[in-house]
Amino acid sequence: MKKTVTSLADGRELIYYDSADDTVRDAIDRRPLDAVSTSSEVRRDPLLGDSVAIASHRQGRTYHPPANECPLCPSQGDRLSEIPDSHYDVAVFENRFPSLAGDAGRCEVVCFTSDHDASFADLTEEQAALVLEAWTDRTAELAELDQVTQVFCFENRGAEIGVTLGHPHGQIYGYPFVTPRTELMLRSAHKHREETGRNLFDDVVARELADGARVVLSGEHWVAFVPYAAHWPYEVHLYPRRRVADLRDLDEAARTEFPQIYLELLRRFDRIFGPGEPPTPYISAWHQAPFRVAGREDFALHLELFTIRRTSGKLKFLAGSESGMSAFINDVPPEAAAQRLREVASE
């Protein structure tokens, strides 16, 4: 893997990740861009104890542009984009409309491929492995920033999720705080350690493997299962069998197997609702241990993949109970979801 760091016309960082070591990246951003101006502010909610990013500048961000004006496609002739080069493998750049910026954190965009019409599931194993390298490298770089406490790599896929750019891409957030979901996990892990002397994540994985009813895929180094108390209609958690705190700690064997397992999961997600159905909308979220916090050593890196589609043509809306009280109601039994995901193995 070759990494090339450069800058866009407004000073934002752009990073190319290439499979070939002899790739040259010397294209210049020719756009007449003004300096980025953001108004990100993090406010603490005294009742819930969580943090909210206030980012009014995002109201003006690019919204559903036509394919020939996509800002994530490579630049071609006079059509200039966020990627100055005419092609790329994987590209990462600072978001021009970040939710978090400066002392309030950092937001980056990850372009998985230069092919506008592809999806992550269309990538080859080599391409998916390069994305994993990019996620890992960005985690390592952002971990060194004083204002970043936790790194979150994720992909929103589909208009139903709220995606405003159709090009296959994800994002990386460097939060200046520990996110609420992670705080809950750390709290549960601490309580479990005190009560049993064991690691909570290890016990969860062991229980799913022993039960087997919710296991979807099982490799030598990774295991994917629908959690016992799944919140979403179709939800899969993917864990490395050797517990690590974040992406930096994965060994070479786990890195090699990851593309096989993950691509198979994504392809099965697109087959859940049968032939002729539109691509399944999903959120794919890496959960990594925050930095410089108590209990970090007990956290387990894992990926959570889920869709808001509950059946053909119908979405799972977060209505009164979920939005008002954070109390989820799931219409699909986790065992049935796992069975369906086993049935739709890729051909």
- In sequence order, the β-bridge partners of residue 172 are 108, 153
Provide the 3-class DSSP secondary structure of residue 210: helix
DSSP letter assigned to residue 344: T
Burial (0-12, 13-18, 19+ Cβ within 10 Å), 56:
exposed
Contact 191, 299 (CB under 8 A): no
Residue type present at position 139: T
Q: Residue 337 is inside which H or E element, if any? A: helix 334-343
Whole-angstrom distance, CA of residue 196 vs CA of residue 215: 25
DSSP letter for each residue of 46-97? TTT--EEEE-GGGGGS--S--GGG-TTSBPBTTB--SB-SS--SEEEEE-SS
169 is catalytic: yes
Catalytic, out of 167, 169, 192, 221: 169
Gyration radius from the chain CA atoms? 20
Query: What is the β-pairing status of strands 222-225 and 314-315?
Result: unpaired
Which residues are known to be catalytic? 169
